[in-house]
Structure 1
């Protein structure tokens, strides 16, 4: 049985409380000059807004993350009460990954919109932050048990435990390697080309992992029919 309010739950509450406070602070005390709210493929701002709109964007992102993390936490507690240790562990893993991802995204948004970073720095910030997220995701996704929230979720991986394990193990390795390479290359790689290459590699890795789930499912004699 997990604690009623675990350390991960406390960290979740603290991170999203800080993000909410930051959004309120910007809304009332932020810069009065226009702030970039969106960047195009060339990493140049293509949409601007005032501090209130920026605060609404940050606050909305915080609310979405908090609702998702709370849902995972509640589902993990329910799994613990039912004695499903593997499902609880997967849900807690998902909660931790989601918390880290939203914290990293929040920092990147604040840095890009408020820091006035030049083009090369924007690319390095985005590439480094996204690579770090995939590095953490890759370190955990290969060990999660079947669930509806985290991992390679295809009809074939749900129809075969072997397909789930192998496709998620492959995705974990690919994401970890991509994340590690991205973190190392981010400070020196030419931008925005390097960021586009990383994005393409992530999409290709996800597609390859989905294909692996189908390939293993097709060969598994214990598979269930779709």
Structure 2
């Protein structure tokens, strides 16, 4: 299996090539950087780099407060697969729930590394983790914007916007998946990836491709009839889940064949 797609991967220490990018960082004096020590904060390379999330959340809060008086008493907060409204909520809830979800997700993703027993590994993929956190917050704020726009009477093709957003998220995640190192909260966590760093590394390299392919498939639903949306999303989710699970198991068996007798 190829080691990664050809697109450049975003890292915190330079450039790479696809899901497998993100090897040991190089220090400014040359050579490999010293491995992180146990007990070091997982965000040691991340401090002061949350400006984008803070700015997005602040702008979204200001925009929400600005349009709040013009929103209707009842607002659409849910749509079916065809993009038709099928859920409503009072203005006070609908106008702020999306923003609160984005802010809460940001805080959760900031806290999780600190309580992970494998927190010492996070500095090894700080750039990838930060990027995924940023695009997650951005996506949730995008959904929040759709709710506000709908409340203001601005036409939005919800099914197309959401499909394109989810697809782009998966493509970006797939491109950095190979940089993720063993942890208990983020990545492809199966019994076999968690028991072997070699299996973890190889599964995430292969899984990066599957994430990208799934993202491309889901993104195309933005340009297909609504009846395609659910089948494509289900097929993509099942394909990624089954593919990475089976691959990690087979790889673990191959690497541990001698021990299994």
TM range (shorter): 0.7 to 0.9
Q: Partner residue of 1:194?
A: 229
| Residue segments in structure 1 that go unaligned for 5+ positions in a row | none
Structure 2 distance, partners of 1:123, 1:211, is 31
Deviations 1:34-85 (A, max 9, x none): 3211122343211112321112312330332221232257679x96xxxx5x
User: Is the 1:171–1:206 contact (alpha carbons within 8 Å) kept by the matching residues of 2?
Assistant: no
Structure 2 distance, partners of 1:4, 1:139, is 20
Displacement of 1:139: 0.6
Structure index of larger Rg: 2
Distance 1:207 1:164, change over 3 A: same
Matching residue within 28, 36, 39 for 2:76: 36
Structure 2 distance, partners of 1:156, 1:139, is 22
Matching residue within 125, 134, 150 for 2:161: 125
Structure 2 distance, partners of 1:223, 1:102, is 45
Q: Please show how residues 16-31 of structure 1 align to structure 2 within 5 Å.
A: 16-26=57-67, 28-31=68-71
Q: Partner residue of 1:140?
A: 176
Displacement of 1:157: 0.5
Structure 2 distance, partners of 1:143, 1:192, is 36
Displacement of 1:96: 2.0
User: Is the 2:76–2:88 contact (alpha carbons within 8 Å) kept by the matching residues of 1?
Assistant: yes
TM-score, with length taken from structure 1? 0.79
Q: Secondary structure at the match of 1:108?
A: helix
Displacement of 1:178: 2.4
Structure 1 distance, partners of 2:56, 2:129, is 16
Structure 1 distance, partners of 2:110, 2:190, is 24
Q: Answer with 144-153 or 53-62: which moved more.
A: 53-62
Displacement of 1:123: 1.9
User: Is the 2:173–2:211 contact (alpha carbons within 8 Å) kept by the matching residues of 1?
Assistant: yes
Q: Answer with 108-117 or 155-164: which moved more.
A: 108-117
Structure 1 distance, partners of 2:259, 2:196, is 7
Distance 1:96 1:88, change over 3 A: same
Distance 1:161 1:224, change over 3 A: farther
TM-score, with length taken from structure 2? 0.69
Q: Secondary structure at the match of 2:78?
A: strand
Q: Partner residue of 1:158?
A: 194
Q: Partner residue of 1:51?
A: 91
User: Is the 2:101–2:140 contact (alpha carbons within 8 Å) kept by the matching residues of 1?
Assistant: no
Distance 1:20 1:66, change over 3 A: farther
Where is the helix percentage greater, Structure 1 or Structure 2?
A: 1
Structure 2 distance, partners of 1:223, 1:36, is 58
| Residue segments in structure 2 that go unaligned for 5+ positions in a row | 1-35, 37-43
User: Is the 1:178–1:202 contact (alpha carbons within 8 Å) kept by the matching residues of 2?
Assistant: yes
Displacement of 1:97: 0.4
Matched positions, count? 214
